């Protein structure tokens, strides 16, 4: 009888589902979707009081998600355990507005650092500020400190909108990663150094550009990204994986192969053991557009296999929490799921909401 009881308990434990992952996704007009990753079911839709989500950032301890919104220039903080909004506010007032996208919290979780512009309504016109570094106090729910960005750092037309934000472990240094790396002292919001990684030394290449950061490799000390580069002689373009170490400020670029002609590469996802990688390649953007998955062996820097998939006019690329499925989503009501090894279509999940460009965050 004891053996039978033990066998039943063992069977029950074996058949019990593992800790299911939860997917957080922004959607129109003011919702955060809470999706059960195992079933693809939308478990909840959280209304964000400050409006449309445009970016998400998870804290280093995975306990909080910081969402920036564009409707009223707000910040929403979501507790990943309870899946509830624990802080919500808008920066805009009837006479003052802000424009920003993304940012990073400090280790204490009280301050949020970003770059922004301020618009003040005067009697006869709107006064537009230059691009500024900013510290937002999440307790006071206000911008409490700003510093004007040097003119040489505002020449990038996408400054503030295509920027990777990282914070040092001690909260004393802010890193802005784009065409170069800006190192900003959080005490006075002044640029104390600039790293021209676009022209790394002793590599035989120039024109290195950052792609999207790798969320699965995100850590307090390293920024990992897909890069493209070209040599200075015959302008051949190659792509590879680059790592920027926040502590040592060292940049490491490892080429993988020729970059696609007439298109681009979007995102990089990696397996948990960091031995495999996946990216999306778009060939011929105009007229004859083709989209492919490229499956990479990161130990040998070789392409393992490729597969074409139906293009969308615009989309985002992600990977499941167990790295077994690849996701194509965005500007639509669904997620297309593909097997990460065979690159073949598995299923389509209907979300019932049009998702925004805020991306997705997966938690256990």
CA–CA dist 61, 72 (Å, integer):
28
Q: Locate 239 and state its tokens.
A: 């792509």
The answer to whether the beta carbons of residues 281 and 225 sit under 8 Å apart is no
Distance CA 316, CA 211 (A): 13
- List the one residue out of 270, 266, 220 whose CA is nearest residue 246: 220
pLDDT, tens digit (0-9, with 9 covering 90-100), for 157-189: 555 456 789 899 899 999 998 777 899 999 999
Kindly state the average pLDDT of the residues 273-285.
Answer: 82
| Beta-carbon-side half-sphere exposure of residue 307 (alpha carbons within 13 Å) | 14
pLDDT digit string, tens, across residues 317-344: 899 999 999 999 988 899 999 999 999 9
Which of 13-17, 30-34, 324-328 comes out lowest in average pLDDT?
13-17
- Per-residue pLDDT tens digits for 129-151: 999 999 999 999 999 999 999 98
Q: Who wins on pLDDT, 99 or 19?
A: 99
| Predicted TM-score of the model (pTM) | 0.85
CB 227 within 8 A of CB 239: yes
Report whether 304 contacts 297 (CB < 8 A): yes
């Amino acid at each position: 009888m004891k053996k039978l009881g033990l066998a039943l308990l063992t069977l029950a434990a074996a058949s019990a589902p593992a800790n299911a992952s939860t997917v957080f996704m922004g959607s129109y007009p003011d919702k955060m979707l809470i999706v059960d990753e195992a079933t693809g079911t939308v478990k909840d839709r959280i209304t964000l009081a400050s409006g449309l989500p445009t970016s998400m950032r998870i804290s280093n301890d995975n306990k909080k998600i910081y969402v920036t919104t564009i409707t009223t220039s707000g910040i929403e903080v979501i507790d990943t355990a309870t899946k509830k909004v624990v802080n919500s506010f808008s920066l805009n007032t009837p006479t003052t507005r802000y424009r920003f996208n993304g940012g990073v919290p400090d280790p204490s979780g009280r301050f949020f650092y970003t770059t922004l512009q301020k618009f003040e309504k005067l009697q006869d016109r709107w006064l537009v500020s230059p691009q500024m570094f900013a510290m937002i106090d999440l307790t006071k729910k206000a911008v409490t400190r700003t510093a004007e960005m040097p003119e040489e750092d505002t020449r990038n037309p996408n400054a503030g909108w295509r920027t990777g934000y990282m914070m040092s472990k001690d909260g004393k240094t802010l890193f802005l990663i784009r065409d170069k790396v800006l190192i900003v002292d959080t005490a006075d919001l002044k640029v104390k150094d600039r790293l021209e990684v676009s022209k790394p030394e002793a590599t035989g290449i120039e024109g290195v550009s950052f792609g999207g950061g790798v969320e699965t490799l995100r850590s307090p000390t390293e920024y990992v990204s897909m890069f493209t580069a070209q040599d200075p002689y015959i302008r051949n373009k190659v792509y590879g994986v680059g790592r920027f170490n926040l502590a040592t400020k060292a940049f490491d670029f490892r080429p993988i192969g020729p970059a696609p002609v007439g298109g681009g590469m979007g995102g990089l996802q990696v397996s948990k053991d960091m031995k495999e990688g996946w990216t999306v390649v778009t060939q011929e953007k105009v007229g004859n557009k083709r989209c492919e998955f490229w499956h990479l062996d990161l130990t040998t820097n070789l392409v393992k296999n490729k597969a074409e998939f139906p293009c969308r006019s615009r989309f985002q690329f992600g990977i499941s929490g167990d790295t077994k499925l690849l996701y194509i989503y965005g500007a639509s009501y669904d997620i297309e799921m593909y097997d990460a090894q065979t690159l073949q279509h598995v299923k389509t999940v209907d979300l019932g909401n049009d998702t925004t460009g805020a991306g997705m965050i997966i938690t256990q």
